[in-house]
Amino acid sequence: MKAGIVGFPLVGKSTLFRLLTGNPGPSHGGRPGVRLGVARVPDPRVAALADIFKPKRRTWATVEYVDVPGVSRGEGAALVDLPALRGVDALVHVLRAFESDLVPHPEGSIDPRRDAATLELELILADLGTVERRIERLEASIQKARLPEDVAERELFLRLKAALEAETPLREMDLSEEEQRRLRGYALLSAKPLLLVPNLDEDRTRDADVFLRSSGLAEFARRPQVALCAVSAPIEAEMSELDPEDARAFREDLGLVEPGLDRVIRTSYDLLGLLSFLTVGEDECRAWTIRRGTRARVAAGTIHSDIERGFIRAEVVPFDDLVAAGSLASCRERGTLRLEGKDFEVQDGDVINFRFAV
């Protein structure tokens, strides 16, 4: 899963990108200012399982982030031309919410609700351009040969156009799976799930919720496929320098339950409808990413296509039951280790051993 970090210039996008991925990354695809990095999805269950199985390796699920140059008001169309954003599953919009006389704000004042709305409109206008160009092409080919395929697609694109003209982002449209599949090849930015990340002043972290409400951001984010998650880049930077114990004490001091970065990653994961199942063994304890609703046989395919093809059954135990029992053998005795077939819907935190034959 991959998310694109977007927003206005000088809001803290690259700072957040470096903190998330721990790595400045080489420039991506030869484009200046475009960087690709990998963040580990925080999951204490991997470490807990490793305590039981003492594996050689522990492997966490990951999320990729792409950092791109900022866009200003009126420049949203530039985002469409970035190949790096084409394949992303979600957008992370970093919003300026910190005061600083040293860092200028292009709009002259701090108002993250306004900036969220401004970028939303930029995405909508960029998509309108894409959609209108597609409609023109379709009309031209329908003139030549009236293929039912083209006629159906024109109908779909005309619906998208009407929504965009009403300033509705495409992520709010009710589209069938078939329609969504048709649109996958186009870089329709307002169709992507959106995570709003206001970058707060250090002294606002304590009452972040109050700020999110009073700024209007909480209200703005109460829409389909939009999530909200505040961070303070300087605090996260400071925390990433500390050892885990000191970082925890520092966090508790600020009244934070978990590191802001962890929350950003976890919220991106949730927004995309993803969950993790786990595998254990002497070699490796590992978290794997699947979409919510994925069935056992397809989940097996994330590990290896042979396991999917040769699927026999899945031995499944929920993480909590395994930790309570202390070993797979005692799960078997207690009857918490279940045998499931190919259509079993895998749940977050299921520890699974796939039986297969090739």
Ligand X SMILES: Nc1nc2c(ncn2[C@@H]2O[C@H](COP(=O)(O)OP(=O)(O)O)[C@@H](O)[C@H]2O)c(=O)[nH]1
Helix (H, G, I), strand (E, B) or coil at 12: coil
Which of 95, 265 has the CB closer to ligand X?
Answer: 95
Is 279 one of the binding residues for Mg ion (CB under 5 A)? no
Q: Which does 273 bind (CB under 5 to 8 A by kind): ligand X, Mg ion, none?
A: none
CA atoms within 13 A on the CB side of 23: 13
Nearest residue to Mg ion by CB is 14
- For the CA atoms of 68, 74, 77, 83, what is the dihedral angle to 10 degrees? -10
β-strands 226-228, 194-200 pairing: parallel
In whole angstroms, how close is the CB of 86 to ligand X at the nearest point? 20
Q: How many helices (DSSP H) and strands (DSSP E) are in the chain? A: 16, 12
Per CB under 5 A, 14 contacts Mg ion: yes
Which residues make up the interface to ligand X (CB under 6 A)?
7, 9-15, 70, 98, 100, 103, 199, 232-234
Looking at the Cβ atoms of 70 and 193, the one nearer to ligand X is 70
Out of ligand X, Mg ion, none, which partner does residue 234 contact, by CB within 5 to 8 A per kind?
A: ligand X
The torsion of the CA quartet 163, 165, 171, 172, rounded to 10 degrees, works out to -50
Kindly tell me which of 13 and 113 has the beta carbon lying closer to Mg ion.
Answer: 13
State how far the alpha carbon of 128 is from the alpha carbons of 24, 226, 256, 324, in Å: 33, 20, 41, 54
Supply the minimum distance, in Å, between the C-beta of residue 202 and Mg ion. Answer: 20
Closer to ligand X by CB, 8 or 277: give it: 8
Least gap, CB of 123 to ligand X (angstroms) = 17
Q: Is 276 in the site for Mg ion (CB under 5 A)?
A: no
Q: 3-class SS at 215?
A: coil
Q: Which listed option, ligand X, Mg ion, none, makes contact with residue 294 (CB within 5 to 8 Å by class)?
A: none
Residue 193 beta carbon to ligand X: minimum distance, rounded to whole angstroms: 21
The DSSP annotation for 120-189 comes to HHHHHHHHHHHHHHHHHHHHHHHHH---HHHHHHHHHHHHHHHHHHTT--GGGS---HHHHHHHTTS--G
- Shorter beta-carbon distance to ligand X: residue 71 or 290: 71
CB of 9 to ligand X, least distance (A): 5
Longest dimension (CA), the chain: 70
Of 7-15, 99-107, 160-168, 252-260, the window that binds Mg ion (rule: CB under 5 A) is: 7-15
**Cβ(165)–Cβ(128) under 8 Å?**
yes
Residue 199's binding partner out of ligand X, Mg ion, none, with CB under 5 to 8 Å set by partner kind: ligand X
Under the binding rule (CB under 5 A), the answer on residue 21 touching Mg ion is no
Q: How many residues bind Mg ion (CB under 5 A)?
A: 2
Least Cα distance to 90 among 207, 5, 186 occurs for 5
Contact residues for Mg ion, defined by CB under 5 A: 13-14
